[in-house]
Amino acid sequence: QFLFVVTFTTFLLCCVDYDVLFANRPLNHSHAGGAAPDRSKVTLPDALLPAPQCAQRIRASGWIIFLLVMAAAFWLYRLVKVLCSLLGYWEIRTFYVKALNIPSEGLCNYSWQEVQARLISLQRRQQMCVHKRELTELDIYHRILRFKNYTVAMVNKSLLPVHFRLPLLGPVVFLTQGLKYNLELLLFWGPGSLFQNKWSLRPQCKRAGARRELAQRLARAMVLLGLANLLLCPCVLVWQLLYAFFSYAEVIKREPGSLGARRWSLYGRHYLRHFNELNHELQARLSRGYKPATKYMNSFTSPLLTVLAKNVGFFAGSILAVLIALTVYDEDVLTVQHILTAITLLGLLVTLARSFIPDEHTVWCPEQLLQRVLAHVHYMPDHWQGNASRPETRGEMAQLFQYKAVFILEELLSPILTPLILIFALPARALDIVDFFRNFTVEVVGVGDICSFAQLDVRNHGNPQWLSAGQTEASVYQQAENGKTELSLMHFAITNPRWQPPPPSELFLSQLKEKVQQDAAAAPPAQRILAEGPLGASVFSEDS
């Protein structure tokens, strides 16, 4: 795709004669036998420049040559990464076929739990990990999600500068793929990062005496990386604009309402992610919460915007209907200049206006809808309780569940804003980040350095609001926010029923099961709940 976008864009800039294409300059076609030239018909090859002239235009532009050289260097870098990845994938395939006895053609029929069980069984027979006799499910998750658990913990502790308050816009959250890539480069796998390899933190990061020196070095690296991003900003911005145009232009023409669809934001995926939750597990959970979240967000409507959308849709639809009727009556109408453009834009306008008109059969029940969202996403700030109908709650939910148009806009602005965040906002957090890695890193035999939150230890990282008295020794700094340790423990125990948790965690799970059983025994029958009213019936009649 990268190679195609660069080649096709260069072709459009240097190899097309737009005066001929737009009929700004007449083109004479000579015909045999002395026939009169045909000045009205222009074919596509007529608008293409010959190869020597095209090459000459490319060589005459210094900017195009510079961008092509940068693109070629980046493409070669990507090619090397792809080849290295292919070698790794081949090793993985060989391991699955020979060690786990899972053939490639039958891999899609195996669940992750089955693959994991075979891996644990293989460790008992061959002891691949020489430092310990048995691997547990938690050890495997720690190896796979080592860096991801650190990122989830930093988002949970509000350590990363992704929250901003802007004039007119108010509180906003900004976390894009570009900013995430730079953060991972600084902390995990870049030159001079806090990790010296894929499994071990640098020794000086574990010494309290070296924290200020290390923080100064990290802050300097943040500024230098920000300046590098600033220098590359024009190239990256051009690429983002071209890629977004080629990716979304046809989709917007075909389905203009797709920009009004929603998706879980990158920040939302980190905020809602449990510790030790694999990508496919997170995706399945958020996919189950997609429809309830969409219904909740769509339940907020503006009467003024609805009236405006109805009128705009009526006027644009009326003009569109007349133009379509004229083209049906006489197709020569299509030859009128800009008539196709008008029909296309009016169709887009009608579709866009309809997306702002709410369904007249919608039932206003934000509290019940938000509870249905919570049943799948598992996290909700305390101040949302009983305030589901407030615009502030909807605004905070929109930070987790954003419009696709907002996602595209953020990615387009990322090359400009990411360097500013790296230079001005992130260095102030350098000391806190160094302290975080020192205080919340533990070494596990056979696994390496991991985030201590990922151990799911309620005694060291539990929240007193979730636990009985004396079950946790965690201070406010040590405990995870919003009960993430407890919810992650519950999720991991349900996902991996054979896993044996440590005694404090096992005690919490047993007490939780007892409480759930008591609540279930005391709960009224489903028939009585459904009989309480039409609102309850409409809510509970939907898919669970």
| 286 vs 303, more confident | 286
Beta-bridged to residue 172, according to DSSP, are 164
Q: How far is CA 165 from each of CA 169, 170, 399, 426, rounded to the nearest angstrom?
A: 7, 5, 13, 16
Residues 446-458 pLDDT 10s: 899 999 999 999 9
Predicted confidence at residue 38, as pLDDT, reads 53
pLDDT of residue 530: 46
Q: Which pLDDT belongs to residue 538?
A: 45
How many angstroms separate the CA atoms of 447 and 455, rounded? Answer: 12
Q: Are 350 and 313 in contact (CB under 8 A)?
A: yes
The DSSP symbol for 455 reads: G
In the numeric block, the tokens 């602005």 are attached to 413
| pLDDT tens readout for residues 4-55 | 999 999 999 999 998 888 878 777 655 545 555 555 577 888 889 999 999 9
The residue behind tokens 């050289």 is 69
- Closest listed residue to residue 5, CA positions, set 76, 96, 68: 68
Query: Mean per-residue pLDDT for 509-531?
Result: 75
pLDDT confidence of residue 28: 62
From the CB of residue 398, how many other CB atoms can be counted at a distance below 10 Å?
18
Token reading at 415 = 């090359």
Q: Please give the Cα distance from 76 to 309 (Å, whole number).
A: 49
List beta partners, residue 48.
16
Residues 252-285: pLDDT tens digits?
777 777 777 899 999 999 999 999 999 999 999 9
SS (H, E, C) 357-373: CCCCCCCCCHHHHHHHH
**CA pair distance 221, 215, nearest whole angstrom:** 10
Residue 188 phi, psi (nearest 5)? -120, -50
Q: Give me the mean pLDDT over the 92-120 stretch.
A: 93
The pLDDT assigned to 252 comes to 76
Cβ-contact 380, 374 below 8 angstroms: yes
Q: Token pair of 193, please?
A: 């990062």
Predicted confidence (pLDDT) at residue 377 exceeds the cutoff of 50: yes
Q: Averaged over 107-135, what is the pLDDT?
A: 90
Q: What does the DSSP assignment read for 111-175?
A: -HHHHHHHHHHHHHHH-SSTT-S---HHHHHHHHTHHHHHHHHHHHTT-SS-EEEETTTEEEE--
At 322, the pLDDT band (50, 70, 90 cuts) reads very high
- Would you tell me the crossing angle of helices 303-329 and 339-355 to the nearest 10 degrees? 150
**What pLDDT is attached to residue 495?**
93
* pLDDT at residue 528 is higher than 70: no
Residues 70-86: tens digit of each pLDDT? 899 999 999 999 999 99
Q: Are 28 and 36 within 8 A, CB to CB?
A: no
Which of 120-129, 149-158, 318-327, 524-533 shows the lowest mean pLDDT across its residues? 524-533
The secondary structure of 37-56 as a DSSP string is P--S---GGGGBPPHHHHHH
226 pLDDT exceeds 50?
yes
Can you give the pLDDT at residue 39? 52
Per residue, the 3-state secondary structure of 289-354, as one string, reads CHHHHHHHHHCCCCHHHHHHHHHHHHHHHHHHHHHHHHHHHCHHHHHCCCHHHHHHHHHHHHHHHH
56 pLDDT above the threshold of 90? yes
Give the tens place of pLDDT for each residue, 395-432. Answer: 999 999 999 989 999 999 999 999 999 999 999 999 99
More reliable by pLDDT, 329 or 98: 98
Whether the Cβ atoms of residue 14 and residue 63 lie closer than 8 Å to each other: no
Model pTM score: 0.86
Residue 347, number of CB atoms within 10 A of its CB: 17
> Would you state the pLDDT for residue 143?
94
For 374-388, what is the mean pLDDT? 90
What pLDDT does 154 receive? 97
Mean of per-residue pLDDT scores for the chain: 88
CA 422 to the chain's CA centroid: 20
What does the domain layout of the chain look like in residue ranges?
Answer: 1-24+42-142, 303-356, 456-533
Q: What is the pLDDT of residue 534?
A: 46
Mean pLDDT of 382-388: 89
The helix-helix angle for 339-355 and 211-254 (nearest 10°) equals 120
The mean pLDDT of 527-542, rounded to a whole number, is: 46
